[in-house]
Amino acid sequence: MNENKASHPTTIIIFGATGDLAKRKLFPAFYNLYIDGRMPKGFNILALGRADNTNEYFKNYIKENLENFSRKKITSEDWAGFQAHITYFQNQLDEESSYKNLHQKLEEFDKIYGTRGNRLFYLSIGPNFVSTISNHIKNTSLASDAKKDRIIIEKPFGHDKQSAMELNSLLAETFEEEQIYRIDHYLGKETVQNILAFRFGNSIFEPLWDHKHIESVQITVAEEVGVETRGAFYEQTGALKDMIQNHLLQILCMVAMEPPASLESGEIRDRKVDVLKSIRRISSDQVDHYAVRGQYGKGIVNGVEAKGYRQEDGIAEDSNTETFAAVKFYLDNERWQDVPFYVRTGKKMKEKHSYITIQFKPLPHSTFSESSQHLSANRLIINIQPLMDIRLQFMAKKPGLSLVLKPVEMIFDNFACQEDTPEAYETLLLDALLGDLTLFMRSDQVEEAWDVVKTIQEAWETTKDSSFPNYEAGSWGPKESIALVERQGHNWV
């Protein structure tokens, strides 16, 4: 969230530098920050991998990927400057000798800097390696300065509340809480960040932001793609753990949080934890009433035949893993009493679309209530992707001689203001370089988020859904999700 340039010399150590995340997101993000003049004047990217690669080979590999995934064009001049900061370093994750060699390399960089530089460790690896790396970092004193050394952890952060607590305890043996950056790339998206500015920077909306004026809130993250090459991973995860426990609950926190006293990271994260604690826990006997799961079967996506989830590579023929999840939450606090928060996410759905819908209550009495004209609900829609805009829907007079009303929209289009919008990882990596924790999850946030979905998770893992597959690829999910909102007279927008 900070617009400043990182200044202190920094070495960025990427574990898993040859992996998919590094090539698609991390190196393009660092390259774009470099082009924009946001990287520290003295910085090095130490790319760790198990293979015996040369520097030249690895840099060519990075350049090829930048040409495919960077939002900025690759020029010979920019690349020459950027690649000079990259060093490939062979590392075996489970061998302490590799970490001792890494320690020597970091000290070499410090000599070049002329000072003890910051160290940013990025764990772009599977969650099963986190404990191994953390222990070796501790044993070799690689992150001995709590003010200068930071670690970024990718999701999934645990697989349930107990494992998340154990992982937090493990990391606490090596790092202070202010050193740990648990990353959720959804919080780096421009329109998600804009929620704070929109809510707390405008006097016309904040007074309406409560149960007296808002009827319901919807959060949808729909994907056209299936599991692709991630079948084995997804079989152990599912939509609830993959999306709702982290992404959607974090967006919910941004929408529902109380006004922070300041933009200081601790203050904002405190308000988010307050939201998670206020979410009414769903009892085990009420899971089917408040939550719906689904699994896609065969269907048509964009005019092309699509196979079902159980026909994907690495998926069991009788898989009980959900590829769709919808939940109705309530917040037991003064601001949001009795306002339903509907969240849903799914794969192989009709279209790729992530958005938030705030639906306002109708007027208690309208001048037009006795007329034959239909009054559409007032809505505020915040589109996250692929659209990036904020739309206010309201009624207005249709031009002409008769007094006829029609629904209209006022739109703030992010692309119209700035076509070349930074990627989410650019925002988050810059914040990590600056030491700004605002958009990163704290240990208590993670544990509370797992607690929110605990009973749903347990019910779905222990009870097989005999209706699977229960929605066609290319649809909006199972019919039960429609019933979930229609029970209270609502519709998915």
- pLDDT over 60 at 4, yes or no: yes
- pLDDT over 70 at 28, yes or no: yes
Looking at the structure, tell me whether residues 272 and 317 fall in a common domain.
Answer: yes
Residue 409 assigned to a binding site = no
Domain count, the chain: 2
How much is the average pLDDT of 228-244?
A: 92
Query: Which residue intervals of 9-154 are DSSP H helices?
Result: 20-21, 27-35, 55-69, 76-83, 96-113, 130-139
Residue 361 assigned to a binding site = no
Confidence of residue 2 (pLDDT cuts 50, 70, 90): low
- What is the domain-level CATH number for residue 114? 3.40.50.720
CB 309 within 8 A of CB 469: yes
pLDDT of 126 reads 84
CB 326 within 8 A of CB 343: yes
pLDDT of 5 reads 64
> Is 215 within a domain?
yes
Last residue within a domain, chosen from 137, 154, 171: 154
Residue 273 sits at the vertex; the CA angle it makes with 444 and 388, to the nearest 5 degrees, is 115
CB 355 within 8 A of CB 344: no
Confidence of residue 486 (pLDDT cuts 50, 70, 90): very high
pLDDT of 7 reads 80
> Is 138 within a domain?
yes
**Catalytic one of 103, 136, 159, 247:** 247
How much is the average pLDDT of 475-482?
A: 97
How much is the average pLDDT of 280-289?
A: 97
Share of the chain above pLDDT 90, in %: 80
Looking at the structure, tell me whether residues 212 and 122 fall in a common domain.
Answer: no
Confidence of residue 128 (pLDDT cuts 50, 70, 90): confident
Looking at the structure, tell me whether residues 333 and 445 fall in a common domain.
Answer: yes
Residue 488 sits at the vertex; the CA angle it makes with 483 and 489, to the nearest 5 degrees, is 85
Q: What is the DSSP string of 427-441?
A: HHHHHHHHT--TTSB
Looking at the structure, tell me whether residues 74 and 205 fall in a common domain.
Answer: no
> Is 493 within a domain?
no
Confidence of residue 155 (pLDDT cuts 50, 70, 90): confident
Looking at the structure, tell me whether residues 334 and 449 fall in a common domain.
Answer: yes
pLDDT of 370 reads 59
Residue 222 assigned to a binding site = no
How much is the average pLDDT of 369-398?
A: 86
> Is 315 within a domain?
yes
> Is 305 within a domain?
yes
Looking at the structure, tell me whether residues 99 and 191 fall in a common domain.
Answer: no
Query: Shortest CA distance to 354 belongs to which of 485, 251, 229?
Result: 251
Looking at the structure, tell me whether residues 66 and 114 fall in a common domain.
Answer: yes
Domain that holds residue 208: 187-353+428-487
Share of the chain above pLDDT 70, in %: 97
Looking at the structure, tell me whether residues 25 and 149 fall in a common domain.
Answer: yes
Last residue within a domain, chosen from 132, 154, 176: 154
Looking at the structure, tell me whether residues 210 and 79 fall in a common domain.
Answer: no
Confidence of residue 1 (pLDDT cuts 50, 70, 90): low
Task: Give the tens place of pLDDT for each residue, 165-213.
Answer: 999 999 999 999 999 999 998 888 888 888 888 889 889 888 999 999 9
Which residue has tokens 């660092």? 30
CB 441 within 8 A of CB 154: no
Grouping H, G, I as helix, E, B as strand and the rest as coil, residue 83 is helix
pLDDT of 468 reads 97
Residue 18 assigned to a binding site = yes
Task: Give the tens place of pLDDT for each residue, 420-432.
Answer: 788 999 999 999 9
- pLDDT over 90 at 6, yes or no: no
Give how far Cα 379 sits from Cα of 127, 206, 481, Å: 40, 15, 21
How much is the average pLDDT of 37-63?
A: 95
How much is the average pLDDT of 348-364?
A: 93
> Is 418 within a domain?
no
CB 214 within 8 A of CB 358: yes
Mean pLDDT computed over every residue of the chain: 93
CA distance 226 to 306: 9
Answer yes or no: 85 catalytic.
no
> Is 492 within a domain?
no
- What is the domain-level CATH number for residue 332? 3.30.360.10
Looking at the structure, tell me whether residues 197 and 150 fall in a common domain.
Answer: no
Looking at the structure, tell me whether residues 83 and 196 fall in a common domain.
Answer: no
Task: Give the tens place of pLDDT for each residue, 78-114.
Answer: 999 999 999 999 999 999 999 999 999 999 999 999 9
- pLDDT over 80 at 57, yes or no: yes
Query: Between these two residues, 232 and 426, which has the higher pLDDT value?
Result: 426
Confidence of residue 67 (pLDDT cuts 50, 70, 90): very high
> Is 335 within a domain?
yes
Residue 50 assigned to a binding site = yes
Looking at the structure, tell me whether residues 75 and 194 fall in a common domain.
Answer: no
